[in-house]
Structure 1
Amino acid sequence: MELILFAMISLVVVVALLASRLNDNSFPFPFDRKSAIFTPAEKNFQNLVEQAMGPQYRIVNRVRLSDIVTIRNGVSSKAGQTAKANADNKYLDFVICDRDTMKLLGTIDLVDTQGKGYKMKKDWFVSGALEAASIPHIRIKIKPNYSVDEIKSCIHNRLFGQAPAPIPKFKGRVIPANMVKPRTKQANGDVGVLTAAAVTNELAANKNTANIPAPRVAALPH
């Protein structure tokens, strides 16, 4: 009787274990498709960076650190494996490359100062690796609104050491018609240039009429 009871208990335990395995979520492919590859903030920032840099550059998102650095010659096998393993787990938000050659120019990380991102504090390994490899690393604070000009200025200062030349809004200045003084006519009716004597006489005449208020003239447009 005891053997039968023991066998029944064992059978119940085995069935419970099998049932738990069937209901377990340890399926080898527990994946589902994301609704979007990038967050709205990442996508908006990428668009601004592309506008700021222009068509001659390519902006690549979420690049592993190990994809842009390599282990130096002469490093021990153990140290190289450790460094590569650490680099495999680190990501850069954006990488700037030359569009034609894909030459690496610099990296950008978005920093959440509100304490909601793992990049809020500077990662010593990422910073050290990029500095050792002479790769510029730009950390930009996340905020609701950016302007293309401020992003362009920030990136150019870090990558090229100078701010981009400002684009003029106007091609020259327009002088109003009422400020253009026609040249005086000579006795023969020709239009000529004032001689030195005529300039002296005109200055003397102006000196005698200094108490007469000058007409108000509009300033040149900026």
Structure 2
Amino acid sequence: MTGTLAYVAQAFGENSRTGLAALLERPAALFYVVGVVSVLALALRGLRAENRVGYRRGRFLSANEKIFLRTLDAALGRGYRAFAQVRLAEIANPADSANVHLRRRALNAVMAKSVDFVICDVLTLDPVAAIEVDDRSHLLPERRDRDAFVNAVFAEIGLPLLRVKAQRTYSVAELRALFARVDLCVPPPTHGAPSCDSSSSPD
């Protein structure tokens, strides 16, 4: 086999046509070359697979978050729409600054965080408030630092951030009372109920 390969290699050294003719004259050498190429291809594929981690479908919302969202939708009625797991960078943009480094740092800080729910006006889809459902993890020191940062960002952009303690069930009435604290107008779900911005004046 060594002599055959040497012969084929010498033929390719002259020119490609002579090399191909020599390779076809000796099928054993052709099979050997194909085998070597296949082994190299499999090896390269294996190296690439080691440098890449695949994906699997993740969990979008926890069971508790789904329960809260259903109650939230019922409490909001038709005037608002709730969005879940919204990236903070979609709500808060870094202010203009000549310092590119500081601006990039500010952007990275909001890019890496999200809020549980954002309430938007159903017509304009502009955010009017946000909600964080705090479970026991928010008692951890690192979570407290994160929450303090998020609170400061919402205060700076002037958007109400409501915090609700995580529990097994939620009340529509309690959520409506929470909305009232930030002047979020949610009319009662009754026929013929007056809108929140209407005023009753005597004739």
Q: How does 1:208-219 map to 2 (within 5 A)?
A: none
Paired letter, 2:67: N
The CA deviation at 1:118 is 8.8
> Once the two structures are superposed, what CA deviation does each residue of 1:61-117 show, in whole Å capped at 9, x if it has no partner?
101111101122345221111000011001100000001101110111110136688
Q: Distance in 2 between matches of 1:86 and 1:105?
A: 22
Choose 1 or 2 for highest CA Rg. 1
Pick the aligned partner of 1:145 from 165, 169, 172.
169
What is the distance in 2 between the residues matched to 1:107 and 1:118? 22
Q: Deviations over 1:121-172 (max 9, x none)?
A: 3622211111110111111100112111011111221343x8x67789xxxx
The answer to whether the 8 A contact 1:107-1:135 is kept is yes
Q: TM-score, normalised by structure 1?
A: 0.57
In the alignment, is the contact (CA less than 8 A) between 2:82 and 2:119 conserved in 1?
A: yes
Give the 3 Å change call, closer, same or farther, for CA 117–60 of structure 1 in structure 2: farther
Letter in 2 for 1:62: Q
Aligned match for 2:159, one of 135, 142, 162: 135
- Deviation for aligned residue 1:37: 2.3
Superposition pairs of residues 91-102 of structure 1, within 5 angstroms: 91-102=114-125
How many angstroms does 1:45 deviate by? 0.4
Give the drift of 1:44.
Answer: 1.0
Q: 1:41 to 1:118 in 2, by over 3 A?
A: farther
Give 2:136's aligned amino acid.
T
- Where does residue 64 of structure 2 map in the other structure? 41
- Hey, what does 2:79 align to over in structure 1? 56
In 2: Cα distance, 1:63 partner to 1:117 partner: 22
Letter in 1 for 2:105: T
Relative contact order higher in (CA < 8 Å, ≥ 6 apart): 2
Q: Tell me which moved more, 142-151 or 21-30.
A: 21-30
Q: Distance in 2 between matches of 1:54 and 1:99?
A: 10
Contact 1:60 1:95 in 2 (8 A): yes
Question: For this pair of structures, how many residues does the alignment match?
Answer: 147
Corresponding residue number in structure 2 for 1:184? none
TM-score (normalised: structure 2): 0.61
Unaligned runs of at least 5 residues, structure 2? 1-41, 191-203
Q: Is there any run of 5+ residues in structure 1 with no aligned partner, and where?
A: 1-17, 169-222
The match for 1:80 is 103
Amino acid at match of 2:115: L
Query: Which of the two has greater helix per residue?
Result: 2
Cα distance in 2, alignment partners of residues 139 and 119 from structure 1: 17
RMSD: 3.2
